[in-house]
Structure formats: C-alpha cells, structure tokens
Amino acid sequence: MKILVTPRSVTKNGHPSLEALRQAGYEVVFSTPGCFPTENELLELLPGCVGYLAGIEEISAKVLDAATDLKVVGRNGTGVDSIDLDAAERNGIKICRAQGANARGVAELTFAHILSATRSVAFSDGELKKGNWTRRKGIELEGRTLGLVGCGKIGQLVAGFAIGFGMKVIAYDPYPASGFSPDGDFSFCSLEELFTNANVISLHCPPEPGGKPIIDETAISCMKKGVFIINTARGSLLDDDAVLEALESGQIAGVTIDAFESEPPSDWRLAEDPRVTATPHIGGFTEESVARAMTVAVENILAVLQER
C-alpha cells in the first residue's frame, strides 16, 4: 500500500494533492528531497510500491522489472519518453500522463523566451549588472513569421499569443488538429517550409526515434539568416555542435533553452554562450501548473489502483 513520489519540487516542499492518497489508505514515500532519483535509489525504493508518481527522471527496464508490486506510474506531466514503455507493458504496469496540465505554464514561458531572445533582455540585464552600457538591436514581432514544430496544446496556446502580437504563424505537426483554426494568419505546412520561412522557430514536440536532433546542420542550412530558435521541449532536439557553429557564423541570431538532455546539463557550452538564454526547466514550474499536474497525476493513480 505504498506510493513513491519523486518530482523534485514535491519531494522538497510537499503538495496538498498528496493528501488524497493518504486518505485512500496509501503510505506516501519520497525520494531524496529536491533531487532526481538515481536508478539505484529507484531500485531501493520501488519494490513494495503499488503506485509511482513520477517526474521526468529516467525509468529504466531494470527498475520496472524489479518493481514487482507496481501497478501504475502517473507522470505529473505529458512526456513519457524517459520511461521504458516496453518494459512497462511487459510487466503489466499502466502509464498515465497528466495531459495538458502544464501547457499554459510552458506556453507562457515560451513567449517570454521569444521576447527575451528578440530583444536581448537577459543579455542586456547581465551587461548592466556588470556595469556595462552595451546594447543589441532587436527586432519587432509584428509581421514576422513564427514556426511551431509541434502544434498540440502548448503550440496552440503559443500560436494564439503570437497572433495577438501581429505575427504570422506556420506550424508543422505530423497529426495536425483539424479543429484548430485560430483567428489570424495561421496555417499548417511541411517541416521544410517551416525551416525556410520562419523568423522564429519554437519547438513543441517529443524527441525523434533514436534521439536524432530536429535542429541539426541540414535543418539550419535551410533557415533564414538571423533566425531565433526557442526550445522549451527537450534538450535532445538540438544538435549542440551545429547550433554553436551557426551562432558563431550568425546564421542563428539567438537561442533559448528550458530543457537539457541531462539536468543539470553535463555539457554547459550552450547555457554559457552569451547568445543563448537558458532557464532550468521552469516551463511547468508555476503554482498553477504544478497544482493541475499533481491533481491529475494523483487522480490517475487512484483510478487505476481502485479499479474494480
């Protein structure tokens, strides 16, 4: 009757939504407060647990094979690319997502990143704090083209924000939502058309199979000179070497990042580059998004465990 809880903000500060688990008769156990659980820690904590409220940590086949009592993993977010889904299926473990719970938080951060990149907000603040009166000329968004790679709930919210700023929005999605047709200049297009025509490219998609980057040397070569790249999705979507080279040449004017392949990053080159604005995976880290995601994750776990 134990349920393991591992999201970093929750293990550090707790959350009211967990009370529903306790009231249902379950013992709530936590991983190390404020830290990603390691594989060894999961191997120690998960055996004997029937439920697992997970963050974005990797959940390997070894971990799932060892969790012989586990019936359900409830993510407090949408992505499940860090979970070995084949092992979960083999062991009869149901995987539940908090679909769309943090979409608003990620979408709002995305647009904050767009504004920061195109007006060099973070760079300018950093220079002033060092006592330097250094200015970079920015661009205005009205009349510019925003390209969305992925147009689910987050991308759709970002599209609405951009249209409100007078931008043209083009989007690529392998499964475009037929009912999404916002007022304003919006259309779906191919990925090649998006790379060729966008002034700002924002990523809202899962990783490619095998972890192949979407933004690589070939993709960058198709883009307009001076393009801005916004990545609030997954670190593996960027080829770091190709992006750094394009920043150096001016092909890419600026990059913003909120997600890294490993967190904290093992490779700090992009985060430390003055043409890059980086944040430590805070897209869904708002009071509202955390509350929605935790509530949905708890409800998902209880729904599975209380099935009759």
Vertex 17: Cα angle to 13 and 22 (nearest 5): 100
Structure tokens at 140: 């205005």
Distance (Å, whole) CA 258 – CA 227: 18
* Contact by Cβ (8 Å): 85, 105: no
Q: Is residue 58 annotated as part of the catalytic site, yes or no? A: no
144, 204, 275, 281: which one is catalytic?
A: 281
Q: Is residue 263 annotated as part of the catalytic site, yes or no? A: yes
Site of tokens 């969790």: 67
Q: Is residue 308 annotated as part of the catalytic site, yes or no? A: no
Query: Exposed (0-12), middle (13-18) or buried (19+): which is 85, by Cβ within 10 Å?
Result: middle
* Contact by Cβ (8 Å): 229, 253: no
113, 234, 275, 292: which one is catalytic?
A: 234
Strands (E), the chain: 2-5, 27-30, 49-54, 72-75, 94-96, 145-149, 168-172, 186-188, 200-203, 227-231, 252-257, 276-278
At 228 the three-state DSSP class reads: strand
263, 292, 299, 308: which one is catalytic?
A: 263
Cβ within 8 Å of residue 182, ≥6 positions away: 156, 159, 160, 163, 169
Give the residue numbers marked as catalytic.
234, 263, 281
